[in-house]
Amino acid sequence: MKLSTGSSVRISASDSSINHSTARAWSITSLIVVFATINWADKAIIGIVAQSLKEELGFTSTQIGFAGSAFFFLFSISGAALGFLGDKVQVRWILLVLAALWSVIQFPMLVTGSFAVLLITRIVLGVAEGPATAMANTAVFQWFPADKRSFPSALVTAGSSFAKIAIAPLLALVLAAWGWRACFVTMGFAGLIWCLVWLAVGKEGPYARRPDAHKPGAIDTGLRTPAQTLRLPLRSIVFTRSFLGALVGTFMVYGLVSASITWFPSYFEKGLGFSRLESGLMFGLPSIASLVTMFGSTFFADRLASKNRATRTTRASITTAFLVIGGLALGVVPYVGKPLIVVAFLIIGYGCASVALPMMNAVVSQITPPQQLASTLGIFLAVQNLSGLIAPTLVGVLVDRASHPLAGYSFAYQIFGFAILVGGIAIAVLVNPERDAAMLQHKLEDLKTR
């Protein structure tokens, strides 16, 4: 095994020895993107039906925010725990079980629409969805070499945007036509349909690394025992400067994402004065910007990486630039008077900040030995997602205590802007994938000689 600069621990055999279909890789990726879209649409339901729940059931903004945060109570714990299972069990089966659980948990709200049921179902849904992002990225990374993973990861991350651009407007129409209960039914059946399709076509990729990969019938990746069974202590990976810098940066961004999935429609309606249907339809506008920035930046980064440009430049520096722009855009929101201009700044801020998520996922995959990727991504995303415990409730409390909803929303998003600036600085100072990949490679080589 040898070190390849700019990538994770690499196999010694050339990639041409791995016989797989590019078309197959992208078809599997497409299905996983749908998986991620359903995942985020499940989160978005609260934002779509928030005002209906307040009017029909008497919930307060603080309760709505608490329900949004409740989703993350056990989210990180389940994400981290299942990450270790993903190193041993085929990820395709994990995805199937997770999606089936999401689907079933949508239906209890039809029986009784109490706050207790909402709270319990959101907590259970969080348990089932906690591992989703790590497992989805792991499944996609099984189909691409390390220097080609930024763009596929952006597609998975874009599930959040697809949910708000395509699914949220549909849910807004469902809400207007049949009420908030129909939204839960719609997502329940969407998840079940995905399960049926995935059961028929879901497969492991050729870059999957398993301890039994050398057995008859397994995919030959060119990696042989004992290297297959070598595992670095987890602390060796999570205490690298790149891991910590990526974690700080994405922690800040995920706070913005988790708050927005709960509060954007209410911000548009109660803060800026748009109608409920307009607010639901506008829900996807910031996500359109995030699609443009994520796809553009990650495609460009992967192209530069394929030309042997340092990923400190292609991933860390590009991400820092976008976070600075996004943080400044959100930071000035309280000083903007016109609603349409506020929406424009929210679009810019959200779109630029979103770049950090796929970029830093790729950084973590780059420094991590392939046989430990699922568990490492599980830890990374579990800690990152803890910001989801804080952000939605923070917005709800600020709105309830403000003299006017607009003041509460504006102040909350200014806080997010400053936090994102801090995240950008952390990435600029700490993230250097080549350095940390080399260090971890050296430690792995030391283990081989013992």
Chain segment 89-115, per-residue pLDDT in tens: 788 898 999 999 988 888 887 777 678
Q: Does residue 16 belong to any structural domain of this protein?
A: no
Q: Does residue 5 belong to any structural domain of this protein?
A: no
CB 268 within 8 Å of CB 279: yes
Q: Does residue 264 belong to any structural domain of this protein?
A: yes
pLDDT at 265 over 50: yes
CB 298 within 8 Å of CB 359: yes
The parent domain of residue 383 ranges over: 21-208+231-449
pLDDT at 4 over 50: no
pLDDT level of residue 216 (50, 70, 90 thresholds): very low
Average of per-residue pLDDT across 296-307: 77
Lowest mean pLDDT among 73-82, 242-251, 286-295: 73-82
Using alpha carbons, select from 44, 23, 82 the residue that is nearest to residue 265: 44
CA 389 remoteness from chain centre: 15
What's 225's DSSP letter? T
CB 39 within 8 Å of CB 132: yes
Q: pLDDT higher for 300 or 222?
A: 300
pLDDT level of residue 221 (50, 70, 90 thresholds): very low
Q: pLDDT higher for 77 or 33?
A: 33
Cα distance between residue 102 and residue 278, in whole Å: 28
pLDDT at 18 over 70: no
Q: How many CB atoms lie within 10 A of CB 309?
A: 13
Cα distance between residue 315 and residue 39, in whole Å: 26
pLDDT tens digits, one per residue of 54-86: 777 777 777 877 877 777 777 777 777 776 776
Whole-model pTM?
0.69
pLDDT tens digits, one per residue of 398-444: 998 999 999 999 999 999 999 999 999 999 999 999 899 999 988 88
pLDDT level of residue 262 (50, 70, 90 thresholds): confident
Average of per-residue pLDDT across 252-258: 92
Q: Does residue 72 belong to any structural domain of this protein?
A: yes
Q: What is residue 375's predicted lDDT score, i.e. its pLDDT? A: 82
What's 267's DSSP letter? I
CATH of the domain at 294: 1.20.1250.20
Q: How many CB atoms lie within 10 A of CB 429?
A: 13
Q: Which residues contact 323 (CB under 8 A, 6 or more apart)?
A: 249, 253, 352, 353, 355, 356, 420, 421, 423, 424, 427
Q: In degrees rounded to 5, what are phi and psi of residue 10?
A: -110, 155
Q: Does residue 216 belong to any structural domain of this protein?
A: no
Cα distance between residue 347 and residue 342, in whole Å: 9
Q: Does residue 119 belong to any structural domain of this protein?
A: yes
Query: Alpha helix locations (H) across 9-90?
Result: 22-57, 61-70, 75-86
pLDDT tens digits, one per residue of 119-145: 888 888 888 877 888 888 888 888 888
Average of per-residue pLDDT across 296-302: 81
Omega before 233 cis (within 30°)?
Answer: no
Q: Does residue 434 belong to any structural domain of this protein?
A: yes
The total number of structural domains that make up the chain: 1
Q: Does residue 203 belong to any structural domain of this protein?
A: yes
pLDDT tens digits, one per residue of 440-449: 988 888 877 7
Q: What is residue 16's predicted lDDT score, i.e. its pLDDT? A: 42
pLDDT tens digits, one per residue of 313-342: 678 889 999 999 999 999 999 998 899 999
Mean residue pLDDT across the chain: 82
